[in-house]
Structure 1
Amino acid sequence: MEKARRQGEQIIADTQASALQLREEGLRQLDLDIQQKKNELDALKKGFWELRKNYKQSFDNTIKHLRDIQSGLGDIIESDAADAQE
């Protein structure tokens, strides 16, 4: 009887230890998964800001070119108007 009780207690202790070990392994894996997702999010953020910076630079360059064209057209119009007055 005593032997059966000790075996039962040992089975319970082993089961609890196994459950605790599985829980700890699960938590470690969860921590790794969370860290991986954080790294992926950081990479996405970095890519987004880099893309935004590039688009902004492209937009600024386009505006500058359009202003240069507008200025050049204004000069041509003024020159043509001056030629027409002569």
Structure 2
Amino acid sequence: MATGVDQVVGMSLVVFSLLLFTYYSLWVVILPFVDRNHTLHRFFLPREYSVILPGVAAVVLLLCLGAFTAVVVWRSRKPKKVD
């Protein structure tokens, strides 16, 4: 069973992911149809970043996964037997 701390951390990750998804969806899907001088544009970065930031995040994620895999493989290798 999950402890109270686990549940709080899990729920905060879910809420953070939901907020991030909503922000990005509004930024990419809705904002292009809003006038450039509308006050809503103040809350969002320029549109170029809507492609750059997920690309950088994907590269960092792949690097972390690769490093984790390399560490696990390196630690699990068994030394060769010497006869």
- TM-score, structure 1 length as denominator? 0.40
- Which one has a bigger Cα radius of gyration? 1
| Higher helix fraction (1 or 2) | 1
- TM-score, structure 2 length as denominator? 0.41
